[in-house]
């Protein structure tokens, strides 16, 4: 059992004697996640020696495995940076709508391939206490999560709105959704709902979102259900 205490900035952190346990668990999880694409990559490389090998197709699949490994390593390193330098996240205020629009434009081709429509809404004057790069990381991970799992023929709406004294950044899709039991665990590292365990995602995207948002003093929450889509809200401000 890991015990937690309050850090000087008020954030909960594990007691010193629990760090080794957490680090060991995280290292084991990373090792496990890396073994799968590495094993697939090895099989693909060995298949190149077969007499009837389709070399271009095998090479393309191998590139996909290398891409997944690179994405996993990048996400792990990014999480480590967040945990050792929390203050860098919330330097400055960034208008949200331009970042939403830029992310939607960059993901347009991928969204078309997934048969998912991306819409952007919100007041262009609303800002959040994040550096532009950090906000883009949040939006990209939220959008990518929907493109992977919402399902074809669905719509993803990226929006921002003021609710009382808070500013809320939302990614809402009307796709496959997740079971209610999975909702509280979506932001855990490497957690995947049963229906997406075979996916090529790193399992770290929503964990990155949570770390960035909470480092800036906000909160994240997910709502939805099977067949009713998934909505992720990032709340900044008095109610966050």
Give the end of a domain, one of 29, 55, 84. 84
**How far out from the chain centre does Cα 217 lie?**
18
Q: For the chain, how many structural domains are there in total?
A: 2
Do 134 and 172 have their domain in common? yes
Rounded to an integer, what distance in angstroms lies between the CA atom of residue 239 and that of residue 96?
Answer: 18
pLDDT tens readout for residues 87-118: 456 667 899 999 999 999 989 999 999 999 99
The domain spanning residue 10 has which CATH number? 1.10.287.130
Give me the domain span that covers residue 205.
Answer: 90-237
Do 161 and 211 have their domain in common? yes
pLDDT tens readout for residues 126-160: 999 988 878 888 998 899 989 988 999 999 999 99
Q: Is the model's pTM score more than 0.85?
A: no
Give the end of a domain, one of 53, 84, 115. 84
């Amino acid at each position: 059992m890991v015990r937690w205490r309050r850090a000087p900035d008020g954030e909960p952190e594990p007691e010193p004697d629990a760090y080794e346990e957490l680090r060991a668990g995280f290292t084991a999880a990373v090792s496990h996640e890396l073994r799968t694409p590495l094993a697939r990559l090895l099989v693909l490389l060995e298949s190149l020696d077969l007499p009837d090998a389709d070399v271009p197709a095998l090479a393309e699949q191998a590139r996909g495995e290398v891409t997944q490994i690179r994405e996993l390593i990048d996400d792990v390193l990014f999480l480590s940076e967040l945990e050792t330098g929390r203050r860098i996240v919330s330097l400055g205020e960034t208008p949200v709508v331009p970042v939403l629009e830029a992310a939607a434009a960059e993901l347009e081709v991928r969204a078309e391939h997934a048969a998912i429509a991306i819409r952007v809404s919100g007041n262009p004057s609303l800002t959040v206490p994040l550096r532009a790069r950090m906000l883009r990381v949040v939006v990209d991970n939220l959008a990518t999560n929907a493109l992977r799992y919402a399902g074809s023929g669905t719509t993803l709406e990226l929006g921002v709105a003021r609710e009382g004294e808070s500013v809320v950044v939302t990614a809402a899709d009307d796709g496959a959704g997740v079971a209610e039991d999975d909702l509280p665990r979506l932001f855990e590292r490497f957690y995947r709902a049963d229906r997406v365990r075979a996916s090529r995602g790193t399992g770290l995207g929503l964990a990155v979102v949570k770390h960035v948002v909470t480092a800036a003093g906000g909160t994240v929450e997910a709502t939805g259900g099977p067949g009713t889509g998934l909505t992720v809200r990032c709340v900044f401000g008095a109610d966050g």
